[in-house]
A and B are shown apart, each in its own frame.
Chain A
């Protein structure tokens, strides 16, 4: 199964096609080299033989037959000598070792011939060595044959053939292996993708495609897919959160309204009391609606739909404006609100949401601290990162609880008696994350401080 799949991959097919083309070109090159090498050798041979023949013919003209025979014998003894034969007009061998070039009826022709000589020590008919020789008739009727074995040419050709054969074999083996390896890794990564997709279909939204090499095309594809999956996960999570929250946390206030109205209905009281009960119920319903809206807004922010309309804003300026709105209220509650926003916090964002984010943090600080508390709204640089810090010197939040304050409907036990729906800081996180900012709750020694780090990019 797996191997069939490999052969069907695009990358394997691509490799196979390349391999085929490459093989063909190697073969063509081999043929060309083979013939060229042969021709080159033959030309050199022929020249040597021609030169030698010409020299001997000259020699024959100035010397007598015996001297020529002596000369040929001498030459034969030299290392790397050519092959010679000097025979009488009737074909009788005078000097040299070459066999006769005449046909059975004693005829011969001047010019180039090729003679087959059995390879020494071998009896098979096919094992012959070819000798290329130049035949010339001397003035006195003697015949001179100068030749040379073609072994060297054939060996050179064979060497070329062998070299190319090995090269071809190596090409095929390496190419096929490379194709398999590439296809296998391609397939492995595709399998990773489809496994992730199947996992997600099976309900595990956290599944991601393994990002093996982020820089190649598949890696980038995987990365894009993962970002898409992240977004989908967030959308689904947000959806799930809202339905869960509505189911669990809106029941309580609704039940209270029903209880109040039923109590009023059951008791025997006057119009004034009835009116009071109705007014209370209306106020409660508005409270529920407000919670409902807050939940929807968080969900809306979490889905990230608003990013399209982002503009460049300065969170510092926004924080100052918003904080200033709280000055009289803080004063009335006997608290000090200090604003120090000289460090710019420029970012692409939604001014309205950022305003609400800052307002919620200040709201939170004001509502959960005692009289006399000092609240600081500052924009500062922390390790090179522009950060909006809103801190108080109130009672603070125990370390174990500190991250939980951002959860929906989470409220510290001490805070249960103060008004609030436990959603304010959830929205803060949602808005911050929408803008690529990080929110952390820290110990302000004493008190709580919320740090919102500007996005770094």
Chain B
């Protein structure tokens, strides 16, 4: 991935860029809002990591200007503000995702990967398949190796999200946000317990497991 990091906090910028370089991604740094906007508009990036509070031009203005200039590069907001309104503000300004500092690098990476490989807007597939797993979005049915699997509505949504993120990692918080629309972290293991039920239905008795746990980070669905 080629990532643009717009961040004025040197420590945090270094943390992100070193982490990205270590994984053989490429990363550019802009330390101010105007520099960031110039690079975002002129360069070709898979995603932009954008701090909310920047010198010269704040993050919200940067993303608004980007969108006004017709740049569709996905934007991940980083912020110290954990307020609920701030997230809504960031997303309605044109941001695609939102992460509150401090964060685990694995969380950032998983979200970046999801953004960078975001399917085109007109994803009109009605049948999703991974290996011998088949999901019919119209009929709301799931088959594995031809056998029908009965899923609860929420389990269906969870599986759909995992299939659409095939090969990438879906973190616990991503799943809470996208599947349950919980923007907080319940003390109870909601994700884990649902995954284990989903596994029991999808992977049990199959030749190979499709749903994998990425320890300490989240889950991933991929063909063997």
Contacts and interface: CB of A to CB of B under 8 A. Distances in A.
Interface stretch (B63-71, B80-88, B205-213): B80-88
B82 A329 contact: no
Interface in B178-212: 180-190, 192-194, 196-197
A363 B85 contact: no
A366 B188 contact: yes
B190 A329 contact: yes
A306 B87 CA distance: 13
A325 B82 contact: no
A304 B203 CA distance: 47
A351 to B, nearest CB: 8
A381 interface: no
Contact of A328 (B82, B185, B196): B196
Interface residues of A, number: 32
Contact of A306 (B84, B189, B193): B84
A331 B188 CA distance: 12
B102 A305 contact: no
B84 A325 contact: no
B193 A424 contact: no
B85 A305 contact: yes
Contact of B193 (A289, A297, A332): A332
A329 B193 CA distance: 5
Interface in B42-78: none
A356 B84 CA distance: 12
Contacts of B187: 363, 367, 419-420, 424
Interface in A331-347: 331-332
Contacts of A419: 187
B193 A328 contact: yes
Contacts of A309: 85
A369 to B, nearest CB: 12
A98 interface: no
Contact of A325 (B83, B154, B196): B154
A359 interface: yes
B161 to A, nearest CB: 14
Contact of B82 (A293, A331, A353): A293
Given A296-B82, A300-B84, A329 B188 contact: yes
B176 to A, nearest CB: 9
Nearest to B193: A328
Interface string A301-328: 0000110010000000000011011101
Nearest to A359: B186
B183 A325 contact: no
Interface in B159-188: 180-188
10 contacts: A289-B102, A293-B100, A325-B154, A325-B190, A326-B188, A355-B182, A359-B186, A360-B186, A362-B188, A366-B188
The 9 closest A-B pairs by CB, nearest first: A328-B193, A329-B193, A363-B187, A356-B184, A329-B188, A359-B186, A325-B190, A293-B82, A328-B197
Given A300-B83, A419-B187, A420-B187, 18 more contacts: A290-B185, A293-B100, A296-B82, A300-B84, A322-B182, A325-B154, A325-B182, A326-B188, A328-B194, A328-B197, A329-B189, A329-B190, A329-B193, A350-B84, A353-B84, A356-B182, A362-B188, A367-B188
Interface of B: 82-85, 100, 102, 154, 180-190, 192-194, 196-197
Interface of A: 289-290, 293, 296-297, 300, 305-306, 309, 321-322, 324-326, 328-329, 331-332, 350, 352-353, 355-356, 359-360, 362-363, 366-367, 419-420, 424
